[in-house]
Structure 1
Amino acid sequence: MKVFIIEDDEWSKLILDKLITSYFPDLEVIGTASTISDAITLINDCEPDFILADIKLGNEDIFELINHFGEAWKYNYILTTSHENYALEAISSEVLDYIIKPITVEKLITAINKVKIRIKASLESKEENGNRNHQLIGISSVDKIEVIKIDSIVYIKANGRYSDFYLMDGSRKTASRNLGEYEKLLPNENFVRTHQSYLVNMNYVEHISKSDGYVVKLINNDKLIPISKRKQDVIAKFLKLKI
């Protein structure tokens, strides 16, 4: 697994590096940063499996970076701090774990095991859907699990911790899992995250409008799906063009 470390205290950074080198031979430190701006630039390039970060970085805090990227589940944040009063904000930001300093190998093992469990579960989910030839997916709600054809999904919209599926027949179904989880499960050769709140089946895209900001126009549908500025490159890469 690949880890990115964000820490502005050199001594703390040295301790983390020493613990990881000594006790976690399967981990690779692929980058470090001491500021939010440096971290954003480097993380975009190196795609870590998880991020190990101090909460306070001088006058900044890690929640600025979490809000910048969104999709906290995707980055598997493990936060460290000397202050217990950040616990509530960490939980509400959906970080994977929260370590009170001093950092010990026992605390680190517990946190990293959570990363391994999440990554394993994600891979197993992908494999399970792959075994179905990507034809069907289960949508779990409070009282039932509905099985639908993947190619009937036009787009999915985030609804807090839930996801709203909009289907080809015009119906809507609400699932009790967040949008990020479905982004992992659905085939990326068809589904693209155009915005923090939208996952679109590109087979139903009629065109992309540039007139009022970038938006996706769907086939036989008046709905316009926004394309966030930081997702424009993703769309361009998917379509093999410059937009």
Structure 2
Amino acid sequence: MPLNIVLLDDEQHVIDLLSAYCESIDAADIVGRFSNPIQALNFINNHPVDLLISDINMPQVSGIELAQSLTRDVKVIFITAHSDYAVAAFELDVIDYIVKPVLLPRFLKAISKAQNAISASEPSTKELGNRELSNREQSARYIFVKDGGVKKRLVFDEILFLHAQGDYTEIRLKDKKLLLLGTLSSFQQLLPEGEFVRIHRSYIVNKSNVDSVDKDHLNIDGQDITIGKTYRQNIDEIF
């Protein structure tokens, strides 16, 4: 299973570098990139996240303070230009502590340590919490998503499909569309199991709104969507 990773640093070039490193690792799935620690904390405490890779010295909230505020069992790797934070960091039982500049071999070693730690851990309250969240979402038939500075209600039955747009995801509804910050995989975690299916690396569709399916395409509300080759068997089993 890939690691759901959140990146946090107030320097964009560091985020870009870490993103490039993660994208070269099959087992790494970036579900959030943040320069604001408050936004990162809110995201982590409300989404399934396995690993936080964070700077320490940031405005508003330090990486150490953020790690102390986590309400879920999330592993942490600190990346910082200051070696004098090491003692405080390891008192939090973090996975690793990397001093900038971050080189790829050192980064890969830290990711490997995180994978081993997560694999060795028993089923956690995080997993139970995710199941409870999924059950609540299915019962409520909607969730609230953040669109800019506004939280909007998203009704599952009104979703036609979701389309990956880089760091954003387009959610196409019956009467409008939303472009929201977050990867396709992160939104997939919030959808009711069994009702939505991934048909392409860039598309997830609502099965109940599919109009037609042929060998290579699927049609929803007049929108023709290509079925990825690796997802063909899944489609044959469902429709």
TM-score, normalisation: structure 2: 0.52
- Superposition pairs for residues 91-240 of structure 1, below 5 Å? 98-99=108-109, 108=113, 112=117, 121=126, 124-132=129-137, 133-169=139-175, 171-210=176-215, 214-218=216-220, 221-239=221-239
AA at the equivalent of 1:237:
E
SS of the residue corresponding to residue 211 of structure 2 reads strand
SS of the residue corresponding to residue 218 of structure 2 reads strand
Structure 1 residues 70 and 156: alpha-carbon distance in aligned structure 2, compared to 1, 3 A threshold: farther
* Maintained 8 Å contact 1:217/1:224: yes
> 2: distance between equivalents of 1:165 and 1:115?
36
> 2: distance between equivalents of 1:189 and 1:110?
28
Q: Offset of 1:114 from its aligned partner? A: 10
SS of the residue corresponding to residue 189 of structure 2 reads helix
> 2: distance between equivalents of 1:237 and 1:186?
20
AA at the equivalent of 1:231:
Y
Structure 1 residues 187 and 223: alpha-carbon distance in aligned structure 2, compared to 1, 3 A threshold: same
Task: Name the residue aligned to 1:4.
Answer: none
Q: CA RMSD in A?
A: 4.3
> 1: distance between equivalents of 2:110 and 2:154?
44
> 2: distance between equivalents of 1:49 and 1:65?
9
Q: Offset of 1:164 from its aligned partner? A: 0.9
- Superposed CA offset, 1:113-159 (max 9, x none): 5997xx86565344224124150112223312111211110101111
AA at the equivalent of 2:188:
E
- The answer for unaligned runs of 5 or more in structure 1 is 1-47, 51-61, 79-83, 91-96
Structure 1 residues 123 and 228: alpha-carbon distance in aligned structure 2, compared to 1, 3 A threshold: farther
AA at the equivalent of 1:142:
G
> 2: distance between equivalents of 1:120 and 1:140?
26
Q: Percent identity?
A: 19
AA at the equivalent of 1:160:
G
SS of the residue corresponding to residue 130 of structure 1 reads helix
- Superposed CA offset, 1:168-196 (max 9, x none): 12x01122221101212212311000011
Aligned residues between the structures? 157
> 2: distance between equivalents of 1:110 and 1:217?
39
TM-score, normalisation: structure 1: 0.51
Structure 1 residues 128 and 100: alpha-carbon distance in aligned structure 2, compared to 1, 3 A threshold: closer
- The answer for unaligned runs of 5 or more in structure 2 is 4-21, 32-47, 52-76, 78-101
> 2: distance between equivalents of 1:162 and 1:199?
14
